[in-house]
């Protein structure tokens, strides 16, 4: 069973954490069979933690987890902190196979998305 | 003349700031005439500041600026800090018209983009 784990920073502002939960639910609806399960986890300031979310995925039957960092830049969180947290989850669940995808900001589609946001704000103004 | 101003948080890590500069350059190439000019600015920790970037746009001839927040959630930065910085830029440049678009994380396409990242990481694994 194939799980996708969306990993966000986590915020003291509960509404920001709720945005992440809603996004994971939206992804669950859109996954179209590519993943059996979509869960979310937070690096800090909110629950579930990354190791906790990995435990949850395994409890739900996941044999493979793809972690997707919901981050815009390759800062310390992406390069060091998330891998460290995943290593803890892997240690606690040695049988599960874990893959980490590129972070969101690395996607080439972002530039066009930002232009679209700007055009929309203008109401099509040239 | 119509400018797009990409606004990011800013980082102590210069490579993260460079990612933003590169993104603005990529957007400049993709704008396809919708914007005459694409600039970038940072909320904190890096230059140019948002008021500084607004000055730059006006110096280049911008009469309208669309600010696009490169942020994932509607936290304090998006709801309070960026509007405050824009207000300073507007005060310094009273003739320019400034519009603010939705922040990146509000785009409905993000969910599909994250699923794509996960599928790519798996090399198409089902």
Q: Which domains does chain A have, with CATH numbers?
A: 2-122 (3.40.50.1400)
Q: Using CA of residue B83, residue B88, residue B89, residue B91, what is the dihedral sign?
A: positive
pLDDT reported for residue A118 = 96
Q: Which residues of B touch A117 (CB under 8 A)?
A: 68, 101-104, 106-107
pLDDT the model gives residue B126: 41
- pLDDT band (50, 70, 90) for residue A126: very low
How close does chain A come to B6, measured CA to CA in Å? Answer: 8
Q: How far apart are the CA of B14 and the nearest CA of chain A, in angstroms?
A: 10
Q: With CB atoms and an 8 Å threshold, state whether A109 touches B114.
A: no
User: What order do you get walking across the sheet with B37-42 strand by strand?
Assistant: B37-42, B2-8, B64-69, B97-100
* Closest partner CB to B99 (pick from A112, A121, A126): A121
Residues of B involved in catalysis? 9
Q: Measured between beta carbons, which residues in chain A are less than 8 angstroms from residue B120? A: 101-102
Write out the E strands in A28-74: 37-42, 64-69
User: Any idea what the Cα angle at residue B63 is, between residues B58 and B64, rounded to 5°?
Assistant: 105
What is the Cα–Cα distance from B37 to A86, expressed in whole angstroms?
41
- Of A86, A115, A116, which to mutate for an interface test with B (greatest number of B Cβ within 10 Å)? A115
Which one-letter DSSP state was computed for residue B11?
-
**Burial of A89 from C-beta contacts in 10 A (0-12 / 13-18 / 19+):** buried
- State ipTM: 0.94
Average pLDDT over residues B34-61: 97
Are A71 and A51 in contact by the 8 Å Cβ rule? The answer is: no
Q: What is the pLDDT of residues A52-67, one digit of tens each?
A: 999 999 999 999 999 9
pLDDT digits (tens, 9 = 90+) for B69-125: 999 988 889 999 999 999 999 999 999 999 999 999 999 999 999 999 999 998 855
């Amino acid at each position: 069973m194939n799980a996708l784990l969306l990993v966000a920073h986590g915020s003291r502002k509960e509404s920001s954490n709720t945005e992440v939960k809603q996004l994971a639910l939206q992804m669950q609806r859109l996954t179209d069979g590519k993943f059996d399960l979509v869960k979310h986890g937070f690096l800090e300031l909110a629950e579930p933690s990354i190791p906790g979310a990995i435990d949850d995925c395994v409890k739900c039957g996941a044999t493979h987890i793809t972690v997707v960092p919901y981050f815009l830049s390759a800062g310390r969180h992406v390069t060091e902190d998330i891998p460290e947290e995943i290593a803890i989850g892997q240690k606690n669940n040695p049988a599960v196979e874990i893959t980490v995808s590129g972070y969101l900001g690395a996607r080439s589609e972002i530039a066009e998305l930002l232009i679209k946001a700007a055009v929309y704000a203008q109401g099509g103004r040239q």
